[in-house]
Chain A
Amino acid sequence: MYNIYLYILVMAGVTYLIRVLPLTLIQKEIKNCTLRSFLFYVPYVTLAVMTFPAILSATGSILSALIGFIIALVLAYRGADLFKVSVGACLTVFIIELFL
């Protein structure tokens, strides 16, 4: 019989190592321009890839999610902060779904 706590420890150990090794091993600023540029672009690409099209299946219907997505884009473009964009998207979905 496998032990659930051991499973949890194995998971946590592997996941922590993945996260902590780069942070502790790379302490200096990287000088290589291409590598620096790559690491600068990474978050934008990763977050964009994770957001779309995944957001479309995050609610009860594609329509409410799509409108929530558009509202979030507009709010962010107009300079709203994290909280406002996030809650704005949630409220939009909530209101749209009241009519569906």
Chain B
Amino acid sequence: MELNKSWYIKGLQDGIPISLGYLAVSFTLGIAAKNAGLLPMQATLMSLLNNTSAGEFAALGLISSQASYLEMAITQLTINLRYCLMSCSLSQKLDPKASLFHRFVIGFDVTDEVFGVSISVKGKLNPFYTYGLMSMSIPGWALGTCLGVVSGNILPRRILNAMGVALYGMFIAVIVPPAKKNKVLCGLIIVSMFASLLFTYLPVLKKIPSGFQIIILTVVIAGVAAVLFPLKAENTEE
């Protein structure tokens, strides 16, 4: 019990930067939602239930063009498919004793950020750590969306620009420290960033939707690495 509580508190703390970053992104999302004709209540509900930036931005486009529900379902499936990969990875990080109930709750908020921070803990993941992250980040995401709809210019541009890097800063804080001690990880990160650069700017490749780019690059690069540099048994706990 005490252990769960201290994991929860640690999660709350580490959730602060997620929340800050979310506030900036969801603020822009709220402005887009307003332009798509959503009421503050509707936009906030959308953010509360979905927790996916790219998915929600795409949804707004579909809503304003009155696309079919099937189109909406397929778009969400393709854009958010990367979460499936993250959930698979998370299933191995999670404490094997974690009950089905915990799995259903954690599954609600497997975002890029909550996932990234959850896998950064040492050893197996205690579900309460993720609950702490969720308790900070979900309100941040929903509140930002709501504020964006209600008043498009409450935050000055300068502040929004600065907050724009918050989430990336977190990703860096997650991947860099383990790479310091592990040459394979270090090489993997450099290769990944370079490949991502190519996919962003090269003709043909840049036409691939970003959700798929992430999936393709992840499967190929992590796959090759798994074959070339299989983990030793004791190595997975890092």
**Is B9 part of the binding interface, using a Cβ–Cβ cutoff of 8 Å?**
no
A65 CB contacts on chain B under 8 angstroms: 164-165
B49-A47 in contact (CB<8A): no
- Per the bound structure, the CA–CA distance linking A80 and B216 in Å amounts to 31
- Per the bound structure, the CA–CA distance linking A3 and B40 in Å amounts to 15
On whether A44 and B166 interact (CB within 8 A), knowing A76-B173, A97-B158, the answer reads: no
B164-A80 in contact (CB<8A): no
On whether A44 and B103 interact (CB within 8 A), knowing A36-B92, A86-B20, A90-B162, the answer reads: no
B205 CB contacts on chain A under 8 angstroms: none
A90-B169 in contact (CB<8A): yes
Type the 1/0 row for A34-48, where 1 means its CB is closer than 8 Å to any CB of B: 111111111111111
The residue from A19, A26, A45 contacting B108, defined by CB atoms under 8 A apart: A19
B170-A85 in contact (CB<8A): yes
Minimum CB–CB distance from B109 to chain A (whole Å) comes to: 8
A14-B73 in contact (CB<8A): yes
A84 CB contacts on chain B under 8 angstroms: 173
- Per the bound structure, the CA–CA distance linking A46 and B205 in Å amounts to 17
Of chain A, the residue at the smallest CB distance from B197 is A53
Of chain B, the residue at the smallest CB distance from A48 is B192
B170-A43 in contact (CB<8A): no
- Per the bound structure, the CA–CA distance linking A45 and B164 in Å amounts to 21
Type the 1/0 row for A1-33, where 1 means its CB is closer than 8 Å to any CB of B: 010111111111111101111111011111001
Count of chain A residues near B, Cβ 8 A: 78
A11-B172 in contact (CB<8A): no
The residue from A9, A41, A72, A81 contacting B165, defined by CB atoms under 8 A apart: A72
Of chain A, the residue at the smallest CB distance from B99 is A27
Type the 1/0 row for A47-79, where 1 means its CB is closer than 8 Å to any CB of B: 111111111001110001100110011011101
A8 CB contacts on chain B under 8 angstroms: 42, 45-46, 49-50
A59 CB contacts on chain B under 8 angstroms: 161-162, 164-165
The residue from A7, A23, A87 contacting B17, defined by CB atoms under 8 A apart: A87
The residue from A37, A52, A77, A90 contacting B180, defined by CB atoms under 8 A apart: A77
The residue from B112, B117, B161 contacting A64, defined by CB atoms under 8 A apart: B161
Known: A22-B90, A54-B168, A90-B169. 7 other contacts (CB 8 A): A6-B69, A15-B50, A15-B83, A23-B110, A24-B107, A37-B231, A82-B120
